[in-house]
Structure 1
């Protein structure tokens, strides 16, 4: 298997895993509160990432990162997984899964907006067009296509879903200052966030009691959303000789996700969801286009 084939194998594996997590979120939230799901999934992910680094003989690297930059990883851990997943899971708790997962895909558009003040980048014409398409798609999905009525399933849920994109984009902007090993860095951030997650869970909803279905659902989220999919994606980017081709695989994920949502959650997928998602993905594709000369 050559390097590019490995990249596609890891990239497609990550996309397939990410396609299932919206369904997993919704199922797990039947038995757990959002913060309880964050707690159990985080613990699972910490165990997995520790095992990966132990196998790679990089566990001492994570320890050195924690000693060298505790303030940085405390900030990163407060955003992801603590705040980001708490807000995201609350959005899933309030909205149909098809709406929450579609709105979450606008995070790349949010990233372009935040890059202007924080990374001193300029907005291009295609960025503005991408934003117009993306956020119009959000409106189509959130209103189920009835734009004139402006009726939402949950205004708070929509706002939380959009706020999660702000947190996720902010997380990646902060990580531009981190040149360390991505898996080791993620483990340190998760370890630093765990006391915060544990304290808030105990204070707000109480620690989760044992329920086999709930704990299995949380373990699935920790393994595939926070852990294995991330490792696969990092490996895909490592092996590829064309980052754009691998990155474009991610656009398959939301449409596959709708299939899983329909099949396992019995949600009737609204025509407005497909239309809005096409608008969002079109905006993201336009945002990636740099013109023939620049691409060359």
Structure 2
């Protein structure tokens, strides 16, 4: 199999798992506290990766003892990204959180312009304005026509946006770190650090009383974290980052379609969502604008 094909497959795996992640989190938060869910995601992913690295590369564990300062900052940012996204889902809906978390890649593109001195093309500038217009359409429609609790919705959006900004900070630092250290070695600390700092705040007593089917959901969330981030690292190894970004932007589409189907089926185990034409227009504008921002122009062939 060619590297290009491998990279596309790995990126699609990441998009697939992230597409269903928000829905699974919304179901889990019905019985488990948000911070406890976040801890389980990091802890399970860390245990899986630790076992893998012990088998493949025991020397990589040294990063747990003496991590670079920049990696500690990246881990703090990723810790809040997970919790901010989780709280956003708790106070709004999976589709809302998935859309507003796209502010992260947009911010990362802006950071590339300001920090890494990358050129910002006219197409990217248009993409920013298109995405911002989409956020405005989506936010106004959902706020006015769907949610009874205005403060709760606003709080959820703020938590999600803060998580998106934290992700952009993490990704900016990760971009520098990955040039020096292997991706899985970095992930070992990035998963382990939050599992330690969130430990004093979790409440396991209610979780231990849950039916075993809820534990399957918890295991899925942890495995989702490990598989998605491992696949992302592999995708970046085989194909360009801009191609990976474009494929990953499929994940909110997966969430929207799935939630639309669940809403039409009127299932009882997850809150229904409202999809008006304005909502759909806003979502399309956000995803299209973000696509314009992250997609790089193909280099011209020299004849």
TM-score normalised by the chain length of structure 2: 0.83
Deviation for aligned residue 1:289: 4.6
Deviation for aligned residue 1:91: 0.7
Q: Secondary structure at the match of 1:143?
A: helix
CA distance in 1, matches of 2:71, 2:206: 26
Residue 275 of structure 2 is aligned to residue 269 of structure 1: yes
**Structure 1 segment 143-162 matched on structure 2, within 5 A:** 143-144=140-141, 154-162=153-161
Output one character per residue of 1:216-262: Cα deviation in whole Å (capped at 9) or x when no partner: 323212211x210111222233234x554444222322111112223
Rate the CA distance shift 1:6–1:32 in 2: closer, same or farther, 3 A.
Answer: same
**Structure 1 segment 29-108 matched on structure 2, within 5 A:** 29-55=29-55, 57-61=56-60, 63-69=61-67, 71-80=69-78, 82-108=79-105
Rate the CA distance shift 1:271–1:217 in 2: closer, same or farther, 3 A.
Answer: farther
Q: Give 5+ residue unaligned stretches, structure 2.
A: 263-269
Rate the CA distance shift 1:218–1:293 in 2: closer, same or farther, 3 A.
Answer: same
Q: How many residues align?
A: 287
Rate the CA distance shift 1:98–1:243 in 2: closer, same or farther, 3 A.
Answer: closer
TM-score normalised by the chain length of structure 1: 0.85
Q: Secondary structure at the match of 1:30?
A: coil
Tell whether the 8 Å contact from 2:64 to 2:188 is kept in structure 1 after alignment: no
Residue 287 of structure 2 is aligned to residue 281 of structure 1: yes
Root mean square deviation of aligned Cα: 2.8
Rate the CA distance shift 1:5–1:127 in 2: closer, same or farther, 3 A.
Answer: closer
Look up the match of 1:17: 17
Deviation for aligned residue 1:83: 1.3
Tell whether the 8 Å contact from 1:136 to 1:279 is kept in structure 2 after alignment: yes
Q: Give 5+ residue unaligned stretches, structure 1.
A: none
